[in-house]
Structure 1
Amino acid sequence: MSDLLNLNRLVFFTSVVESGSFTAAAERLGVAKAVISHQVGKLEQELGVTLLARTTRRLHTTEEGRRFYDRCALILREAEAAYGEMSHLTNEPSGTLTLTAPLDYGSTMVAPVIAAYLKQFPQMCVDIVFDDDIIDLVSGQFDLAIRVGWLTDTSNQARRLGTFEQYLVAAPALALTFPQCSTPVDVGLLPWIENAVLRHPLRWMFSRTGYETEIIEARSAIRTDKTPTAYACVLAGAGVSVFPDYMLGDDIATGRLVRLVPEWTLPPGGIHAVFPAARFRPAKVQRFIEMMLAAERKRASGL
C-alpha cells in the first residue's frame, strides 16, 4: 500500500486537530508526541501542503488543512462504522494471530495461554516467535508483542497485564558453601551467572524496609546470552543469578533453589501487551489479551 494511503497518519492528523495540540493527541492515542509530530510532518511532505500552522503559543489548521480534515474525518467515521458493523457480525477471532514474547516468559506463561486460546477458538492459527530480542512492530509482521520488564519504546500502544518480582537464587548445595551471606555486599562476592539478555546483568539495587538501599557490582563466573542457559547453570550449582518469579515456579517451594538475602528485595517489573498504534483492535488480539490478563490475575493470586 502506498504511503499516501497510510490511514494511521490520517488518524494522527485528525487527533491533533480535534485535541488542539500534539501533546493532547499523543495522550489520546497513547503514543509519544514525537511520533505524532513526525507522522503529521510526513503527511504534509507527501501532500505538498501545510496542514497545521504552528506558533509558540497555539496551533491551528490552514485553509487546506481544514478541508483535508473534513474529508479525513468522514473517511475515518466510515471506517469506524464499517469496523463496528463487521465486529458485530464477527464476535469471534478469525485468521492468524502473530505474536512475539521473551523466551522465558513465553515458555512459562504465554504457551499455556496459546493452548487455551486455540481450544476455545479452534478456527484460529497462531504464529509465535519466542526471542529475547526486542522485535520492531512497525513492520507489521506481528499483531502484538508481550514485553517483560521496563518499556522503553513509546511509538506503540501498551496494556499492562501484570507485574513480577525478581529473586536472587542459588542451588542449595552451593548456598551451603557461603553460610555468612547476609547482605548485598556479601552477594557481590559470589560467583554469578551473567545473563547478557539483561541491560545491567551484574549491577543490582537491593532495598530493605522501604528506604535502605544497596547497589552492588557482581563478579561474573559464567556469561550467557540466553535466560534458560543461566537458569540451567544455577540449577547445576555453578553460580547465583536473578530470575523473575514466574520462571521459578515451584523451585523455591520444593527446595530445588533457595533465595539469598530474602529480607532484601529487587525492583519489580511490569508485563505488558504491546501493539502498533491504531484506533481499533481485532477480535483475535482482544481475546488473546483478555486471556493473558486472566492468566496473570490467576498467577498473582497464587492459584
Structure 2
Amino acid sequence: MDTLTRMRAFIDVVEAEGFSAAARKIGRSKALLSKYVRELEDELGALLLNRTTRQFSLTEAGHTYYRRASEIIREVDSLADDVRESSGDVRGRIKLSAPRTFADAPIGHALIDFAKEHPDIVLEIHLDDRFVDLVEEGFDMAIRISRLENSSLIARRLAPFSVRLCASPELIEKYGIPQRPADLANVPCIVDTNGRWLSNWPFSGDTGDTTTVSVSGPMEVNSPMAARAAAVAGLGFTILPDFIAAPDIEAGRLIPVLDDRRLSGGGIFAVYPHRRYLPAKVRVFVDFLVQWFKVHPCDKAKHSV
C-alpha cells in the first residue's frame, strides 16, 4: 500500500473527526481506515492519533503531519487537475466555506448554477458565519462578505457589497425618518449579532470620518434574514446587506433611510490559500463566480432565480 493512500486516509479521518464518520463519508470500512492509519504511524514511527472508545484527538505530531500532508495532497490533486484541464476534463471535489447569508439569499443561486454547469465537480459546501482557517481546516476556498482585512490569503473580488438602513413604512410613519445617525438612539432597532458592529452601528460622519451610534430594540438575532423579516413586520430599524434588502425595498415593504451616510468599500470575495499552483477545479469555480456576478449584480440577483 502506497504512502499517499495512507496519507489520504489519515486526512479523511481527521477532517471527519473520527473513523466511523470518515468511513461513511468516503464509502470505505472503518476497519480499513484504521489499518491505513496504523500502517502510516508504523511507517513514521510516531503516534498521530489518540484513540479511546469515546474520544478522538490529534497528537502534537499528528497536528504537524496533518498540516503538511494536506498541503502535499492538494499539490498532488492540483497536478492531476492541471493534466485533466489540458485535456478538457476538469473534475473533483471543492471544499467550500460560505456564510449562511450568502447561501440563503438569491445570490446563493450561483452555487446551484455552477453545479448544473459542471456536474463532474462536487461542491462540498460548509455554511458557517465564522471565518474558518482555510489551511488548518482543509478548505479549498471560501466566500467572504466584508471589508477584507490584510491576510495571508489570495482574494478575488466577485462583487461590490454595501448595507442599507431600512424600516417598514408603518414604523417610519410612527417615528419619522431619522435625519442623522444619532437619531437612531431614540428609536427601536433590530440588531443582527452576526454583523461585526453588533449594537454600535457605523456611519459616515459630517466630515467624512466614521461615526458610530449605540442602538437597542426588541430583538437581537444572529441572522440577517430574521432581521429582515422583523423589520418588514415593523419591529424596528435594521441594517441589512444590500442583496437581502433589495427585493423588499423594490416592493415597498422596506424604506431605506440615511443612504447618504452609508459606508462603502465592502465586497464579496472568493479567497483561497497561497499556493504555487491553484487547482484547476478552483480556478474554474472562481472564474464562473466572477462571470455570474457580472450578469447578476447583487441588487438584481433575485431576477435570476
Same fold by TM-score greater than 0.5:
yes
Per the alignment, residue 196 of structure 1 pairs with 193
Per the alignment, residue 231 of structure 1 pairs with 228
Q: Secondary structure at the match of 2:259?
A: coil
**8 Å CA contact retained: 2:242, 2:299:** no
Structure 1 225/162 Cα, relative in aligned 2: closer, same or farther at 3 Å?
same
Selected match of 1:136 from 133, 136, 141: 133
CA RMSD of aligned residues (A): 3.0
Aligned counterparts of 2:102 and 2:131: Cα–Cα separation in 1: 14
Instruction: Please list, as runs of the form range in 1=range in 2, the aligned pairs for 1:171-210 lying within 5 A after superposition.
Output: 171-207=168-204
**Deviation at residue 242 of structure 1 after TM alignment:** 0.6
CA deviations 1:178-212 (Å, max 9, x no partner) are 12522212123221111111221222332378837
Aligned counterparts of 2:219 and 2:243: Cα–Cα separation in 1: 23
Aligned counterparts of 2:272 and 2:79: Cα–Cα separation in 1: 22
CA deviations 1:160-190 (Å, max 9, x no partner) are 2221121001111111111252221212322
Selected match of 2:262 from 262, 265, 286: 265
Selected match of 1:297 from 276, 290, 294: 294
TM-score normalized by the length of structure 2: 0.66
CA deviations 1:23-44 (Å, max 9, x no partner) are xxxxxxxxxxxxxxxxxxxxxx
Structure 1 110/286 Cα, relative in aligned 2: closer, same or farther at 3 Å?
farther
**8 Å CA contact retained: 1:95, 1:125:** yes
Question: Is residue 2:166 matched to residue 1:151?
Answer: no
**8 Å CA contact retained: 1:208, 1:265:** no
Selected match of 2:83 from 75, 86, 107: 86
TM-score normalized by the length of structure 1: 0.66
Per the alignment, residue 249 of structure 1 pairs with 246
Structure 1 219/160 Cα, relative in aligned 2: closer, same or farther at 3 Å?
same
**Deviation at residue 143 of structure 1 after TM alignment:** 1.3
Question: What is the percent sequence identity of the aligned residues?
Answer: 27
| Uncovered stretches (5+) of structure 1, i.e. residues with no partner | 6-78
CA deviations 1:129-183 (Å, max 9, x no partner) are 2221212111353211001102346232221222112100111111111125222
**8 Å CA contact retained: 2:162, 2:267:** no
Structure 1 92/178 Cα, relative in aligned 2: closer, same or farther at 3 Å?
farther
Structure 1 267/210 Cα, relative in aligned 2: closer, same or farther at 3 Å?
farther
Q: Which amino acid aligns with 1:216?
A: V
Instruction: Please list, as runs of the form range in 1=range in 2, the aligned pairs for 1:113-124 lying within 5 A after superposition.
Output: 113-124=110-121
Q: Secondary structure at the match of 1:175?
A: helix
Per the alignment, residue 68 of structure 2 pairs with none
Selected match of 2:109 from 104, 109, 112: 112
Per the alignment, residue 96 of structure 2 pairs with 99
CA deviations 1:59-97 (Å, max 9, x no partner) are xxxxxxxxxxxxxxxxxxxx8x96696155343431222
User: Which stretch shifts more, 292-301 or 122-131?
Assistant: 292-301
**Deviation at residue 301 of structure 1 after TM alignment:** 8.7
User: Which stretch shifts more, 156-165 or 291-300?
Assistant: 291-300
Aligned counterparts of 1:301 and 1:228: Cα–Cα separation in 2: 16
**8 Å CA contact retained: 2:81, 2:90:** no
Aligned counterparts of 1:282 and 1:109: Cα–Cα separation in 2: 28
Structure 1 267/216 Cα, relative in aligned 2: closer, same or farther at 3 Å?
farther
**Deviation at residue 252 of structure 1 after TM alignment:** 0.7
Per the alignment, residue 50 of structure 2 pairs with none
CA deviations 1:256-295 (Å, max 9, x no partner) are 1111223332334121111122011222211111121122
Structure 1 250/301 Cα, relative in aligned 2: closer, same or farther at 3 Å?
closer
**8 Å CA contact retained: 1:103, 1:227:** no
Selected match of 2:162 from 153, 158, 165: 165
Aligned counterparts of 1:85 and 1:272: Cα–Cα separation in 2: 24
- Say how many residue pairs are matched: 229
